[in-house]
Amino acid sequence: MIKLAIVQEPPVFLDREKTIARAVQLVQDAASQGARLIVFSEAFIPGYPAWIWRLKPGGDWGLSEQLHGRLLSNAVQLSSDQLRPLLEVAREMQVTIVCGIDERDEDTSRATLYNSVITISSEGEVQNCHRKLMPTNPERMVWGFGDASGMKVVDTPVGRVGSLVCWENYMPLARYAMFAQGIDIYIAPTYDSGDRWIRTLQHIAREGGCWVLGAGNVLRVSDLPNDFPEVDRLYPDKEEWINSGDSIVISPAGEIVAGPLRKETGLLFADIDVSEVNAARRSLDIVGHYARPDIFSLQVNIRQQRPVSFNG
């Protein structure tokens, strides 16, 4: 049996260094209680841009620029030392960490953001970085489009781990690409919540015959910084839960074994048996004996996107 923990805590919103420090403490807390895999939510560092669901694209242009500027300044650059504390605690505690980040482009303009999820190995290295393929609705005003170069399942001490972010999980071909890599633990960091979302994750677990971890985004108005602009207009109810979380652990049979953690903060623990994946796929292996490669095939472009070149 392997113990895992899903972190359902708010970040120190729009503050990269303080959020990373909070994440380090949460990893230490979870690891001290036996967790070997520790999962954070979508865009945990430095926070999910929840304001996009309340602002008007035209009328709130100035406010959008102001908030976006703060997000950009606090986003993560993977080639820097910004994540070093999180890498060091993974190595120190010998745990695998999966964490959502706002990633800042380093190759071209340095102004494009991606909704990314990173896997940190127990050796303290970034083992994989996946950029969300398709930002949803107003998310396209914040994040660029990812590619499939990081859409990988990686070996870890706890099993074969992979991740799709939020509504990427509604993309059947993306799911199939993950299943085809022999995924054991399918991680879905998300801003979505509620019963319909939970039923979606249950379907994915049954479909893929894998463990599914829904890492829910939790945020209250009281978690916003004191200098958050126009907070009284955007969030007049100071007791409001902007997002209720709903972190959950689902077995390969589609059964809920822990959670959902709703309108609560904390660590959601579960003990899982990865060998249950094999039992689940005995009768239904949609990329194995239940597939029809003579009829269907899937081709995935795993090449990294390259910027357009301009010749003077």
Q: Where are the beta strands (DSSP E) in the chain?
A: 2-8, 37-39, 96-104, 113-120, 126-131, 154-156, 159-163, 185-190, 211-216, 218-220, 241-250, 256-262, 266-272
Write out the two tokens for 182: 């022999």
Write out the two tokens for 266: 């904390």
Task: Please report, in tens digits, the pLDDT of each residue of the chain (312 residues total).
Answer: 999 999 999 999 999 999 999 999 999 999 999 999 999 999 999 999 999 999 987 888 899 999 999 999 999 999 999 999 999 999 999 999 999 999 999 888 889 999 999 999 999 999 999 999 999 999 999 999 999 999 999 999 999 999 999 999 999 999 999 999 999 999 999 999 999 999 999 999 999 999 999 999 999 999 999 999 999 999 999 999 999 999 999 999 999 999 999 999 999 999 999 999 999 999 999 898 998 888 888 888 888 876 655 454
What confidence score (pLDDT) does residue 312 get?
47
Separation of alpha carbons 131 and 148, rounded Å:
8
Residue 289 lies in a domain: no
- 27: phi then psi, degrees, rounded to nearest 5: -65, -45
Separation of alpha carbons 242 and 217, rounded Å:
9
227: which residues sit within 8 A by CB, 6+ positions away?
A: none
What confidence score (pLDDT) does residue 311 get?
54
Please name the residue ranges forming H helices in the chain.
16-32, 61-74, 84-93, 172-179, 195-208, 231-234, 276-280
Residue 311 lies in a domain: no
Residue 231 lies in a domain: yes
Count of domains forming the chain? 1
Residue 21 lies in a domain: yes
Residues acting as catalytic residues: 42
What confidence score (pLDDT) does residue 195 get?
95
Residue 267 lies in a domain: yes
Write out the two tokens for 142: 């914040």
Residue 303 lies in a domain: no
What confidence score (pLDDT) does residue 163 get?
98
Q: Which domain holds residue 169?
A: 2-283
Residue 131's domain is classified under what CATH number?
Answer: 3.60.110.10
What confidence score (pLDDT) does residue 306 get?
66
Separation of alpha carbons 32 and 111, rounded Å:
38
- Nearest CA among 144, 180, 147 for reference residue 162: 180
The number of beta carbons lying within 10 Å of the beta carbon of residue 182 is 16
Task: Kindly give the interhelix angle for 84-93 and 16-32, rounded to the nearest 10 degrees.
Answer: 10
Residue 11 lies in a domain: yes
Separation of alpha carbons 43 and 216, rounded Å:
11
Residue 295 lies in a domain: no
